[in-house]
Structure 1
Amino acid sequence: MNWDTIKGNWKQATGKVKEQWGKLTDDDMTVIEGRRDQLVGRIQERYGVAKDEAERQVKDWETRY
């Protein structure tokens, strides 16, 4: 699924995002608003991982979602 589709269905996708990354809050979801770069940044911040690792996790999630 491409990111435009995820962004268009962000309200539905937030549940799946929170299943994958439980440390992300509702406030994080509001800030992210379907923007991939914001999701990557929040994952880096909450989980203390490098940008490359956060990008990989998001890419893996995209293919499963």
Structure 2
Amino acid sequence: MSKDKVKGMTEQVTGKAKEVEGKLTDDKVRESQGKAENFLGKARQKVDELKEDLEEKFDRKD
């Protein structure tokens, strides 16, 4: 598993925790920060998956 994939997963978990914390404390800013971090984590994972797919396809053609 790549560092980017792990970082993306970590961002998703911490983002979700911040989002829940914001909802429980009625802190809209914290909730929004959590949502943004969760989204960033998902995006990082998708980019990493795309990168792995491209590397795999180019390696096969050699």
TM-score, normalisation: structure 1: 0.30
Give 1 or 2 for the bigger CA radius of gyration. Answer: 2
Structure (1 or 2) with the greater helix fraction: 2
Q: TM-score, normalised by structure 2?
A: 0.31
